[in-house]
A and B are shown apart, each in its own frame.
Chain A
């Protein structure tokens, strides 16, 4: 194979991989224009939905990595979260402490559920997705049985606000206003900084102790990191900064500026390092300087009145976005750990993983446990943001929409990244927001737009599953005509 053909193939596959995303972006733009909704309205809606849904979508990445495909079983994580939320509300807890308690109850439940799902998936290897889908429905049935019959019927409960008037079964909706609503969103920035500082302080103290005991070597990076945190903490006591930080919402404009400043500082550090420490050739400076110019240009754009107006209109809750960023970092970091590498190997070929001494089944179960726990936290973020807990409906569409969003971002059954997840959420939910209005303008019927978005979410999953299966089938067909490939023949269906 010559170089040009591989190059062509590469660009071809690049376009092919991003085709879904590009096509979807075009649909979104068309729908926005058709709907005639003001941009500030669309942006506000999209950012609200990013807050709500991104965490759950990110929870899908690890099972894809481990070769389990799209995890339709995240419904079960959501169920764990909802059981926790019900009891927390029933016991009368609220605020951030109530949320912590919810997470404390949901996590062990999700670990247990994830373990069971992982065990089940090991028994249905090759059919995880269909099994996950059916399992989601099955779990929904058990959940309904629990909430409709067992609560009140067997477990005595007494709360007319939550329980159906007969005394058996939980009501259709639970209002979270006054207890868990915005319990994550409303955490003030100054509190986040304080907690972060003490956490870093504690870690550093432990590291210093270990260093003195000669069990750990303190690096310069540790100290610099601690110093930076301390400076940040000190700055937060300056009255102006304190006033700024004592709110829980960050205007999109401010958030953009903060992000730009951080990115610019990172580039500056790179430049300084290249010139004075590594003494590299000036050629390497081109990229950072270009980046700096781009950041400057973006900042300049914010002075255009229309853009500024939109940016001033949208307000972001800070902590959910930090949690989302944290999960992105976790997904990214996991890859460089031993566990992450094992998962990758298992995902690529179970027989190779087995041969290199990896416990395949255990790795798969672990991937499911992590994903289920993350999904349960994602559902907690979702519920506290939305503010009303639809007892029998909040979890039913979660896998469907999360998976569709991930696929729209350009992910496939075998490959998914943080970037694809975030792009997917933005595109998918943009369509969700503008589709009804676009349907109304186009067909004089908002319902058509609503059905269209449902069709898109099913269709994109069907398409991507079919394409994946097609590829897999082709791959399995080929070796049988040539010499049998030991690795492939293990995966191919045994022909009796």
Chain B
């Protein structure tokens, strides 16, 4: 009885409800005759697609800035890096000169640009957050919104030559969704892309076992990122950072510069956001510009909270569990809903209710989360 109660307390009510709901959806969809392999492939794909963006929450929470709604900053940096990399690739005509390597080089370049920009922006953003201690979440939400609105103007003013990016017959402005099929789309996760464009020795990156798709490349990359973050929070620097988030007074008295640790945490979070959106676009196959990333910060925050994190503590396991549950529900709900009632937007409504409900719940649990 006691162990049961302990287990219940460990899991927590929201996670229990959402977990049971997920299982219910899986059982229902299989009962309705959907192929389990296709369903699970989809769940895994979405899990990995959003994973890094959710992972970006961990350094923010651990360093004490709370739920980083301002991840849009990192997302914008990542998108900007991708766009620049694609334009350079087009201007240098890499597809003809480099062949199969073009996509890889574009991806690496996008990551490079994204990470450098995100590190710079994240540092500035950390400086801002140090001046608004106690209200980080409110400020970061609106900083995130402002950045997306500002980037809208940027996307609209860029005049690029690459036809996949810019509108045809217009000198100015990028598309709302730019296809990545000519560049790094699906390079790590889509068997069709990998098997047709890449040399034989790279075919292990993504393959099919029966109906089940194994995006091994993406699994490795995501696993590697999780591992790095995990190791980081066991290093001296990481422990100091967690200390800064946990107990400012104690950490200050032991000679650690709390403000600096917070800036580093914010910068790392922003960089992971940039990497996250590039991996997201890579898996999705499209680059979503303009207002598409506006609410991505909310989805990431909700995911890690569903995983069991609080506004003060977060672990890698929270990332993995939370993303699986949240994305899993969204993936499995669609076919089930479509079968029962024909309302296509219901999963979207479900997403809004679940994600915002869990954030509200977390806020009330921590006395406002700011203190």
Partner of B345, one of A124, A144, A476: A144
Interface flag for A447 (CB, 8 Å): yes
Q: How far is B250's CA from A495's CA once the two chains are assembled, in angstroms?
A: 9
Interface flag for B370 (CB, 8 Å): yes
Partner of A465, one of B135, B172, B357: B135
Q: How far is B364's CA from A493's CA once the two chains are assembled, in angstroms?
A: 16
Which residues in chain A, 168-220, are within 8 Å of chain B measured between CB atoms?
168-169
Q: How far is B70's CA from A130's CA once the two chains are assembled, in angstroms?
A: 13
- Which residue of chain B is the closest to A494 with respect to CB atoms? B371
CB pair A130 B141 closer than 8 Å? yes
- Shortest distance between the CB of A359 and any CB in chain B (Å): 20
Interface flag for A225 (CB, 8 Å): no
CB neighbours (8 Å) of A445 from chain B are 156-157, 172-173
CB pair A461 B134 closer than 8 Å? no
CB pair B149 A138 closer than 8 Å? no
CB neighbours (8 Å) of A458 from chain B are 142, 145-146, 148-149
Interface flag for B31 (CB, 8 Å): no
Q: How far is B309's CA from A210's CA once the two chains are assembled, in angstroms?
A: 63
Hey, what's the 0/1 contact readout for B250-262 against A, CB within 8 Å counting as 1? Answer: 0000000000000
Of B107-115, B125-133, B179-187, B197-205, which binds chain A? B125-133
A-B pairs with beta carbons under 8 A, tally: 149
Q: How far is B361's CA from A134's CA once the two chains are assembled, in angstroms?
A: 10
Most A CB within 10 A of own CB, among B142, B146, B342: B142
CB pair A168 B146 closer than 8 Å? no
CB pair A130 B363 closer than 8 Å? yes
Interface flag for A226 (CB, 8 Å): no
CB pair A461 B142 closer than 8 Å? yes
Known: A124-B367, A125-B367. A462 touches B145 (CB 8 A): yes
Q: How far is B370's CA from A472's CA once the two chains are assembled, in angstroms?
A: 13
CB pair B137 A138 closer than 8 Å? no
Known: A137-B356, A458-B142. A153 touches B156 (CB 8 A): no
Hey, what's the 0/1 contact readout for A118-143 against B, CB within 8 Å counting as 1? Answer: 00100111110111011101101110
CB neighbours (8 Å) of B360 from chain A are 120, 131, 134-135, 138
Overall SS of chain B's interface: helix
- Shortest distance between the CB of A453 and any CB in chain B (Å): 9
Q: How far is B174's CA from A445's CA once the two chains are assembled, in angstroms?
A: 13
Interface flag for B248 (CB, 8 Å): yes
Interface flag for A237 (CB, 8 Å): no
Q: How far is B346's CA from A144's CA once the two chains are assembled, in angstroms?
A: 9
Interface flag for B343 (CB, 8 Å): yes
Interface flag for B153 (CB, 8 Å): yes
Q: How far is B139's CA from A129's CA once the two chains are assembled, in angstroms?
A: 10
- Shortest distance between the CB of A258 and any CB in chain B (Å): 41
- Shortest distance between the CB of A138 and any CB in chain B (Å): 4
Known: A124-B368, A148-B345, A459-B146. A134 touches B132 (CB 8 A): no
Q: How far is B363's CA from A126's CA once the two chains are assembled, in angstroms?
A: 11
Q: How far is B77's CA from A243's CA once the two chains are assembled, in angstroms?
A: 64
CB neighbours (8 Å) of B249 from chain A are 495
CB pair B145 A138 closer than 8 Å? no
CB neighbours (8 Å) of B370 from chain A are 126-127, 493
Q: How far is B45's CA from A132's CA once the two chains are assembled, in angstroms?
A: 33
Interface flag for A325 (CB, 8 Å): no
Q: How far is B141's CA from A317's CA once the two chains are assembled, in angstroms?
A: 38
CB pair A149 B346 closer than 8 Å? yes
Which residues in chain B, 332-367, are within 8 Å of chain A measured between CB atoms?
341-343, 345-346, 349-350, 352-353, 356-357, 359-360, 363-364, 367
Partner of B352, one of A125, A137, A169, A473: A137
CB pair A126 B134 closer than 8 Å? yes
Known: A141-B349, A141-B352, A148-B349. A462 touches B146 (CB 8 A): yes
- Shortest distance between the CB of B201 and any CB in chain A (Å): 46
Known: A148-B346, A451-B152, A473-B132. A129 touches B138 (CB 8 A): yes
Known: A445-B173, A448-B157, A451-B152. A127 touches B138 (CB 8 A): yes
Interface flag for B150 (CB, 8 Å): yes
CB neighbours (8 Å) of A145 from chain B are 349, 353
CB pair A462 B139 closer than 8 Å? yes
Partner of B146, one of A130, A137, A455, A469: A455
CB pair B142 A126 closer than 8 Å? no
CB neighbours (8 Å) of B353 from chain A are 138, 141-142, 145
Known: A466-B128, A495-B248. A134 touches B138 (CB 8 A): no
CB pair B131 A455 closer than 8 Å? no
Most B CB within 10 A of own CB, among A125, A130, A166, A495: A130
Interface flag for A273 (CB, 8 Å): no
Interface flag for B369 (CB, 8 Å): yes
Q: How far is B352's CA from A138's CA once the two chains are assembled, in angstroms?
A: 6
- Which residue of chain A is the closest to B344 with respect to CB atoms? A148
CB pair A455 B152 closer than 8 Å? yes
Which residues in chain A, 432-476, are within 8 Å of chain B measured between CB atoms?
443, 445, 447-448, 451-452, 454-455, 458-459, 461-462, 465-466, 468-470, 472-473, 476
Interface flag for A496 (CB, 8 Å): yes
Q: A124-B368, A462-B142 are in contact. List 13 more A-B contacts (CB 8 A).
A: A127-B370, A130-B141, A138-B356, A148-B349, A451-B152, A452-B153, A455-B153, A458-B142, A458-B148, A465-B132, A469-B131, A495-B247, A495-B248
| Listed A/B pairs (27) with beta-carbon separation below 8 Å | A126-B367, A126-B370, A127-B137, A127-B138, A130-B138, A134-B356, A141-B350, A144-B345, A144-B352, A149-B341, A149-B349, A443-B157, A445-B157, A451-B156, A455-B149, A458-B142, A458-B146, A459-B150, A461-B142, A462-B142, A462-B143, A465-B138, A466-B131, A469-B131, A493-B371, A494-B371, A495-B248
The 10 A-B residue pairs with the shortest CB-CB distance, nearest first, are A141-B352, A127-B368, A469-B132, A469-B135, A462-B142, A141-B353, A138-B356, A455-B149, A458-B145, A451-B152
Q: A residues touching B (Cβ–Cβ < 8 Å)?
A: 120, 123-127, 129-131, 133-135, 137-138, 140-142, 144-145, 148-149, 153, 166, 168-169, 443, 445, 447-448, 451-452, 454-455, 458-459, 461-462, 465-466, 468-470, 472-473, 476, 493-496
